[in-house]
């Protein structure tokens, strides 16, 4: 009797490559992908480096060698079967407009992704770029981040209408128990924060720190988000432009080599991507630093020049992003406090989604001198 290899294992991945991309792919060297020696920040996907030791090939537009196979290991996160081809169209469109998105390597049947046992597998070139650590960006790197993010937003605004229409019918799967941010906020304030403050270990302290920041952001959210604010302008959004999804050239002039992970493409308020971009810029430079202020000034002035930001939009950015991410922050706190799921990546997600930093970004955006804001 043949026992099937566990999904996501090396043997399973090799069989998938052989069956769907061909024998030469299945014969390549497979190693779990690491970033600086650590596992990438993901809890729903398995990532494998796929290399040919005999013929390391330079990847398309990424400046690196080899490829990466991404296996969506959480069946609940798998999108509608129409999504891979829609995503492929969006990525190709963005690449034509100069955005360094990574193209999928088609499977033998021409598909940009394949389904195996209910899981989705995608093969892409591996970039030689590296993600910036928090607070380490140079002025030129921050400017490159802004430029690439605005290029992406401009490219998405120029998508054919039929792509947006079809994508609107391919919904994001819910990945948290409570998606309604006011309900999640109420639970955070009334129940979870007191529970977190009763503990003394580092998990309780981390949860309490972030839940206190959620509480501090509550007045801004309740005052501005969805209460008489400007109506949403729906568009296709990347939806997940955090700092680790921008890979920078390790040497030479500052430039972004790759924008990663278009798996959260959906239709929403187009300002969501610009909010992510503002937050990522401050995350890269460090909150309150002069480098962050200069980068935000560049984002606002260039965004206005390109027609991506209208008067009043800067005050909407962080409340929009905070409301978007608040259910996730609260759900991670539930994992720690209620379910006792103590995954190491939760601390990394708290850092990426930091409500305290986003409140600081809001003040940096809205407290800017009048002459700078009008520039």
Give residue-wise pLDDT tens across range 167-188. Answer: 999 989 888 989 999 999 999 9
Distance, CA of 279 to CA of 362 (rounded, Å): 9
Q: What is the pLDDT along the chain (375 residues), one digit of tens a residue?
A: 344 567 778 999 999 999 999 999 999 999 988 655 555 556 677 899 999 877 655 544 445 579 999 998 888 888 999 999 999 999 999 999 999 999 999 999 999 999 998 899 999 999 999 999 999 999 999 999 999 999 999 999 999 999 999 999 998 988 898 999 999 999 999 999 999 999 999 999 999 999 999 999 999 999 987 554 556 778 999 999 999 999 999 999 999 999 999 999 999 999 999 999 999 999 999 998 999 999 999 999 999 999 999 999 999 999 999 999 999 999 999 999 999 999 888 999 999 999 999 999 999 999 866 444 444
Nearest to 316 by CA among 237, 231, 203: 231
Please state the pTM of the whole predicted model: 0.92
- For the chain, the straight-line distance linking the first and the last C-alpha, in angstroms and rounded, comes to 72
C-alpha span between 44 and 76 (Å, rounded): 9
Phi, psi at residue 30, to the nearest 5°? -115, 130
Task: Count CB neighbours of 306 within 10 A.
Answer: 13
């Amino acid at each position: 009797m043949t026992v099937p290899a566990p999904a996501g294992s090396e043997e399973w991945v090799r069989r998938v490559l052989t069956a769907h991309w061909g024998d030469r792919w299945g014969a390549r060297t497979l190693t779990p992908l690491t970033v600086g020696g650590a596992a990438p920040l993901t809890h729903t996907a398995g990532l494998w480096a796929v290399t040919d030791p005999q013929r390391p090939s330079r990847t398309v537009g990424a400046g690196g060698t080899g490829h990466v196979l991404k296996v969506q290991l959480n069946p609940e996160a798998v999108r509608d079967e129409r999504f891979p081809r829609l995503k492929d169209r969006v990525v190709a469109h963005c690449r034509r407009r100069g955005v360094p998105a990574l193209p999928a390597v088609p499977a033998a049947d021409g598909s940009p992704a394949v389904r195996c046992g209910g899981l989705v597998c995608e093969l892409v070139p591996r970039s030689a770029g590296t993600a910036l650590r928090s607070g380490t960006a140079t002025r030129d790197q921050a400017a490159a981040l802004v430029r690439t993010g605005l290029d992406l937003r401009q490219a998405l605004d120029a998508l054919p209408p039929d792509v947006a229409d079809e994508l609107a019918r391919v919904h994001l799967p819910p990945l948290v128990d409570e998606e309604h941010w006011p309900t999640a906020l109420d639970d955070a304030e009334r129940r979870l924060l007191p529970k977190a403050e009763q503990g003394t270990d580092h998990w309780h302290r981390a949860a309490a720190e972030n839940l206190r920041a959620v509480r501090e952001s509550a007045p801004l959210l309740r005052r501005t988000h969805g209460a008489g604010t400007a109506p949403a302008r729906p568009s296709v959004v990347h939806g997940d432009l955090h700092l680790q999804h921008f890979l920078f050239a390790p040497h030479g002039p500052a430039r972004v080599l790759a924008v990663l992970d278009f798996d959260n493409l959906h239709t929403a308020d187009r300002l969501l991507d610009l909010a992510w971009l503002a937050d990522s810029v401050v995350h890269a430079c460090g909150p309150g630093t002069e480098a962050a202020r200069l980068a935000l000034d560049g984002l606002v002035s260039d965004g206005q020049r390109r027609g991506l930001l209208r008067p009043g939009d800067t005050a909407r950015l962080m409340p929009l992003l905070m409301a978007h991410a608040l259910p996730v922050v609260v759900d991670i706190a539930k994992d720690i406090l209620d379910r006792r799921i103590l995954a190491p990546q939760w601390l990394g997600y708290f850092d990426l989604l930091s409500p305290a930093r986003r409140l600081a970004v809001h003040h940096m955006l809205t407290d800017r001198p009048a002459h700078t804001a009008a520039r």
